[in-house]
Amino acid sequence: MKNEINLDSLLKEMVGHYQPQLPSASLIWWRAQIARKLREKERIERPLQVMRVTAAIACAVILATLSAHSWGQLQALVLDNKWLLLPLFLLTGSLVVALFVSPWAKSDRFPFRWTSTPG
């Protein structure tokens, strides 16, 4: 039994000597509050994001159906008026940016920030 008591006191002595540099309790509290607010923000924004993605998918499906339906007419229109290619190209480009880049830009992994610092 004495072995156990010695091991016990040795461990407690070791802990007694341990004085680490710890972050303050208020700092951890503050970080937890920020994390909670971010979680709440994400929770609130989730339905909006779902709606946004649904709308984008619906638009893409409608556009594809319409294009497939009148593909011949569209081809003839573009071939007859080649200047139409430029706005069509710009429109497609903007759609791609809106669909893929903007959700990524909002995430933390996006490398560039446009927020200005005061002063």
Provide the binding-site residues for another protein, judged by CB under 8 A: 1-4, 6-8, 10-15, 17-20, 22-23, 25-26, 28-29, 31-32, 35-36, 39
Nearer to another protein, 3 or 115 (CB): 3
CB of 30 to another protein, least distance (A): 10
Give the sign of the dihedral formed by CA 79, CA 85, CA 87, CA 88.
Answer: positive
Report the distance separating Cα 42 and Cα 34, nearest Å. Answer: 12
Report the distance separating Cα 106 and Cα 94, nearest Å. Answer: 17
Nearer to another protein, 31 or 106 (CB): 31
Nearer to another protein, 2 or 109 (CB): 2
CB of 18 to another protein, least distance (A): 5
Residue 56 is which amino acid? A
3-class state of residue 83 by DSSP: helix
